[in-house]
Amino acid sequence: MATTTLQPIDDFLRDAENSDSTLELVEGRVREMGSPSSEHQYLALAIGAVLRAKLDLRKSRPSLGHGLVLDEGTARIPDLYVARRSTFASMERRAANYYVGCPEIIIEIVSPTDLAFDIDKKVRQYLAAGAKSVWLVYWTDRHVLVHREGVAATNYEQGDTIVESVLDEELSVPVSELFADLD
């Protein structure tokens, strides 16, 4: 019977820091991430701009491109996240692009090639690590599925507004604003 050797987080962080590829660690197994499409990248920047305009940047911090060490076997790179300033200040930097801890809001842009099983696993891992809200942005259909601990996911369509109260301020984002630059 074959056995799989799981990679310790410290080894993963060292390898990820020295790699030309984008890597995630999922339950001790290294995954090389494909490059996001230009539409995916553009939407991440557009959502980041919407969040920056909506947030009091003295209280909350939107970020993109940082990896998050969620536990000793899992390090993920969400498309974006929003953290209270106090949360971000408490997150220990472990490598050039990885922080230990989980911000309040995680935002993942779902691509047409993403597998439902993988998306579900990410959501569960983020919530287990302490995220209060996980947004799945379906850009091809222009809707957002928001997962929160202990309640059923809520689907937000064009014309709806996502309201979050998990920060030190209320965040109110009309779904149409997230996709405005795609028109």
d(CA 110, CA 137): 6
Is pLDDT larger for residue 82 or for residue 97? 82
Residue 14 falls inside a structural domain: no
pLDDT digits (tens, 9 = 90+) for 109-158: 999 889 999 999 999 999 999 999 999 999 999 999 999 989 999 999 99
Residue 28 falls inside a structural domain: no
Residue 7 falls inside a structural domain: no
Confidence check: pLDDT of 2 > 80:
no
Domain count, the chain: 1
What's the pLDDT score for residue 1?
A: 52
Residue 30 falls inside a structural domain: no
The CATH number of residue 121's host domain is 3.90.1570.10
Is pLDDT larger for residue 182 or for residue 56? 56
What's the pLDDT score for residue 6?
A: 87
Residue 102 falls inside a structural domain: yes
Residue 9 falls inside a structural domain: no
Confidence check: pLDDT of 4 > 80:
no
Confidence check: pLDDT of 5 > 80:
no
Instruction: Please name the residue that has the structure tokens 């922080």.
Output: 99
Percent of the chain predicted with pLDDT > 90: 80
Instruction: Please name the residue that has the structure tokens 């491109």.
Output: 65
Residue 25 falls inside a structural domain: no
Confidence check: pLDDT of 178 > 60:
yes
Confidence check: pLDDT of 35 > 90:
no
Structure tokens given for 34: 């494909």
d(CA 100, CA 84): 15
Position 24, amino acid? E
What's the pLDDT score for residue 95?
A: 82
d(CA 78, CA 129): 13
d(CA 109, CA 139): 7
Domain that holds residue 40: 36-182
pLDDT digits (tens, 9 = 90+) for 46-66: 999 999 999 999 999 999 989
Instruction: Give the C-alpha distances (Å, rounded to integers) separating 171 from 22, 51, 88, 161, 164.
Output: 30, 9, 17, 10, 5
Banded model confidence at residue 68, pLDDT cuts 50, 70, 90: very high
Confidence check: pLDDT of 82 > 60:
yes
d(CA 44, CA 41): 5
Residue 134 falls inside a structural domain: yes
